[in-house]
Amino acid sequence: MEAETMEGLSAVTSQLIELEHKIHTGNANAAIEPLKKILNAHKHVHEISAQALYLLGWVQWAKNQYSDAEKTIRAALKLMSNEHPAYFPALLKKASIETSQNHFFKGLHTWLFILDHADSNQHPNIISEAYLGIGSYFKVKESAELAETCFQYAYDFSKQGQNHEAQVKCGIYLLSVYCSTNKYTEAQKTIDECWPILKLLNEADPVLFADMHHYSGMTLASQNNFEQAIESIHRAQRINEENQFLWGQTQNRIQLAKIYAKQNKYHVAITQLESAVLISSIFDHGVIQQEICGIIREIHKSNHNYAAALSAHEAYHHLAIKNRAFFNDDSKKKNGTRLKTLENRLEVIQKKQTESKLKSTIDYLEQKIISLTTDHSKDSLTGAPNQLYFLHNQNKPNSKKNSESINLLINIRNLFDINVIHGRHLGDEVICAVYQALTLHFKHEETSIIRYYGQQFLVLNATPSSITKIHQISLIIERLKTNKQAKIELAIHRIGIKYKKNHEPIITTIELLWQFPAGEKS
C-alpha cells in the first residue's frame, strides 16, 4: 500500500513538472483545472500542496489577478521549508506580485531577503533574478545608473548558471535601461548576443521573443529606420496579444506612438497612447499611466495643441501626487539601513564593472592594433610589408646606431604598359619577380623591403656594399621572369641617408621626390 502511495505521489510530482512547463511556455489557462484537482486530492501532503499553490499563484499573476496571486503565494510559502525546491522561486514571485501592485518597498524587502539567504553557488539564477528586481526598483525611482549596475550584474551572474533562457531574460532587462537612456550602441551589442541564444531554445517563454522584438524595434527607430522598427514592434505586439501580456502590449503601444510622433503622425500616436492608458488601467495603479500622460502632453505640444497638452499635464500632475505615496517615508525608514548596505554593495560592483569594461576596451584596442599591424600590414600579392606597415614603423630608430645605411625607392616604370600589353597576370608576376630579386640581394638583417605602392618598393637601411652592386638586381630579375618577352625597366632613387632626429621624415622625402618630372628624379 505504501509503495502504491509513493508511486501515486511520484506520478503527481511528474504532473506538476508538466504543468510548470505549460505555464512557463505561455499555456497558463490549461494548468488551472489540473492544479485545483491536485490541491483537492492532496491537501494534506504539504510538499505537493505547496508546489501546486506556487504554480496556481504563478497562473494568477500571469492573468493579472494580483490580489488572488498574493494570497496563494503566501499560502504556498507557509507550507514550504527553505529547502523546498520552489521556496526561492515562490519568494521571487511574491516580490514580482508586490511590485506589480506598486508596493515597491515590499518587493525590495523580499529581494534583499533572497540575497541574504540564497546561496549564490547553488542558486545563481535566483541571485540574478533578485538583482533584476532590485534594478527594476531603481529604474522606477529613475536611478538609471544603479538600475544598469544591477541588470549588468544579473546578466553576468546568469552566465555562470548555464541557463540560457535566464541569460536572455537578464539581457532584456539590460536592454530596457539601455534603450531608455539612449545607449543604443550597447543595446545593439546585447541584442546581437541574445538573439542567437534565444533562437536556439526550443520552448522558451514567449514573452522573451516579444521583448526582443520590442527592443530591436526601439534600436531600429534610433537609427531612423522607422518602417522596420514598426514591423518589429508589431511582431512583439502580436505575441503579447496572443498571450494576454498586458504590460507588454502597453509598452508596445507607447513605443509605436513615439515613432509615429517622430513621423509627425500625431493623431495615430495619440490613438496608440489612449489605447495604452485603457490597457494599463487593468493592472497598473498609476505609475505607467503617469508616464503615458507625460508623453501625450509632449506630443500635443509638438502639434501646437496647447489646450489638450494642458489637460494631459493636469492628469500627469494628479497621478504624480498619487504615486508619491508608493515611496512613502515610513517604508523608506524601515528599509533605510538595508538600502544603505545595498547601495554600498552596488558601489563595489560598479567599480568592478568599470574595471572590467576598461580591461575589455584595452583588450579590444590591443587586438585592433595587432590586426592593423599584422592582418592588414602585408601585401596580399607578394607577402611583403606594405605602406600601412611603413606608416606605423617609419619613426622606429635603426637598432645599430653607428652603422651607415641608405634608403632606396625602386620603381617599375613600365608596369602599366606590361599590364596593358601582356595582361595584369603578367604584371603581377613581374611584381613578384622584382620582390624576390630584392629579397635575394638585400640580405642584411636590418634591411626592410616594403611594397610601398603599386609599382614601387622601398628598401630601408640598405648597406653601402649592397648599393654598389645594385645592377645585379636586373640580372636576377631576368633569370626569374617568365618566358613572355616583357622587358622590366627599373628606376632606382636614393631617398635618404640614415635620417636623424631632426631630419625631414622619410615619408616627406618620398613625397617631394615624386613632385619632379620622371627625368629629373634624383
CB hemisphere CA count around 160 (13 angstroms): 14
Delimit the domains of the chain by residue range: 387-520
- Percent pLDDT > 90 in the chain is 29
- 483 compared with 182, residue with greater pLDDT: 182
Q: Environment class of residue 74 by beta-carbon count within 10 Å: exposed (0-12), middle (13-18) or buried (19+)?
A: middle
* Mean pLDDT in residue range 423-442: 84
Contact by Cβ (8 Å): 466, 441: yes
3-state secondary structure 338-371: HHHHHHHHHHHHHHHHHHHHHHHHHHHHHHHHHH
Contact 131, 151 (CB under 8 A): yes
Cell of 158: 546568469
pLDDT for the residue 509: 59
Q: Which of 170-184, 236-250, 370-384, 483-497 has the lowest mean pLDDT?
A: 483-497
Residue 164 near residue 197 (C-beta atoms within 8 A):
yes
pLDDT digits (tens, 9 = 90+) for 196-208: 988 888 777 889 9
pLDDT surpassing 50 at residue 502: no
Q: What is the mean pLDDT of the chain?
A: 81
Q: What is the pLDDT of residue 512?
A: 56
% of the chain at pLDDT higher than 70: 80
Q: What is the pTM of this model?
A: 0.61
DSSP string spanning 465-519?
A: HHHHTTTHHHHHHHHHS-SS-----EEEEEEEES--TTSPPHHHHHHHHTTS-GG
Residue with cell 614603423: 393
User: What distance in Å separates the CA atoms of residue 406 and residue 429, rounded to the nearest whole number?
Assistant: 27
- Cβ-count burial of 509 within 10 angstroms (0-12 exposed, 13-18 middle, 19+ buried)? middle
pLDDT single digits (tens) 330-339: 445 556 666 6
pLDDT of residue 332: 54
Q: CATH number for the 387-520 domain, one of 3.30.70.270, 3.30.70.120, 3.30.1220.10, 3.10.180.10?
A: 3.30.70.270
Alpha carbon distance 242, 236 (integer Å): 10
What is the rounded distance in angstroms from the CA atom of residue 62 to the CA atom of residue 248?
Answer: 12
**In the sheet that 448-453 helps form, which strands lie side by side, from edge to edge?**
448-453, 456-462, 406-412, 490-497
pLDDT digits (tens, 9 = 90+) for 45-68: 888 898 999 999 998 888 878 889
| Residue in 249, 312, 319, 300 with CA at minimum distance from that of residue 278 | 249
Which bin fits 144, alpha (ψ -120 to 50), beta or left (φ > 0)?
alpha
Q: What is residue 293's predicted lDDT score, i.e. its pLDDT? A: 94
Residue with cell 527553505: 82
Amino acid found at 463? T
CA neighbor of 70 nearest in space, from 58, 80, 87:
58
Quick one: average pLDDT of 279-290?
86
Which phi and psi (to 5°) does residue 401 adopt?
-65, -35
